[in-house]
Amino acid sequence: MKTKKFKTIFINFIYIFGLVITGCSEDPGIVPIYDDKGRLQVQMDSEKCKTYQLEELIKRFKKRGFVNFRISYLQDVYLGIFVKENEIDSISINGETSFKNNSFVDEKSVVFISIHSKKGGYEYITNSVNGYLPIMYQPHELDGKDKIEAGNCLKQLGFVNISYYPIQDCWNDGSSNFNKTDSFQVNYTPDFREYSFFQIDSVIRINYHTVKGEYCTNGLNHEYIKNNNDNSFTCSTCGKTLYI
């Protein structure tokens, strides 16, 4: 009897060990669940989320169907006495900090995670859903960045229709805000949140400070090339001319 009991215990141990190795025991049987409106079930509790490390938390959300994440690195870990690196500080879905297993949200929703870290900055994980992407930034969050840098921030998210509008209020190119972003608009409005969703080809316009002149909507100054046939000049860069 003892031998049989020992054998049973040993087999159970091997089975459990195998589950751990394959990862099945961590989050078994979880697949995305949608309601009749196409909304995604969270299948996670907001308080429970804080008990995971960053990589594990993102893995669990992805398994439940989430594809968009904004991660804020707080740069508040120095000696690791009060907080530990990669521990979750806060989490929200589209600005909602409290959610339950049975909560349903838009499948394009953004999971915002703040994490204790030694480094600072942001990380963005974006994927289009039915041709839509989250904008990830507030209207004035890119203020002060070089106009091209601001445009690249939005291009990296996946947006493809970005133009630049010159606010010609600088005395010269030595002005402190020369070529710096003032704000940006999506589909001609600054009325949106960082978790708002827009089509990939939505019209995004970056307003920036510069001197008076003629500019292309690609953010570059016009450079003219002389046509040898009729001595006319054409712009060497793409984008329409802005006369202000």
Q: Where are the domains of the chain?
A: 29-125, 138-243
For domain 138-243, which architecture applies?
2-Layer Sandwich (3.30)
In terms of Cβ atoms closer than 10 Å to its own Cβ (0-12, 13-18, 19+), residue 12 is: exposed
Is residue 42 over pLDDT 70?
A: yes
Structure confidence at residue 228 (pLDDT): 60
pLDDT tens sequence across 47-81: 999 999 999 999 999 999 999 999 999 999 887 67
pLDDT confidence bin for 3, thresholds 50/70/90 = low
Structure confidence at residue 23 (pLDDT): 42
CA distances in angstroms from 152 to 83, 145, 147, 162, 243, listed in the order given:
33, 11, 9, 9, 25
- Mean pLDDT, range 159-171, rounded to an integer: 91
pLDDT tens sequence across 217-236: 776 665 555 556 665 555 55
Average pLDDT score, the chain = 84
pLDDT tens sequence across 183-193: 999 999 999 99
- Of 148, 152, 101, 98, nearest to 124 by C-alpha is 152
How far apart, in whole angstroms, are the C-alpha atoms of residue 22 and residue 96?
A: 33
pTM of the model: 0.78
Structure confidence at residue 213 (pLDDT): 77
Under 8 Å CB-to-CB from 66, ≥6 apart: which residues?
Answer: 40, 109, 111
Structure confidence at residue 84 (pLDDT): 84
Is residue 30 over pLDDT 60?
A: yes
What is the total residue count of the chain? 244
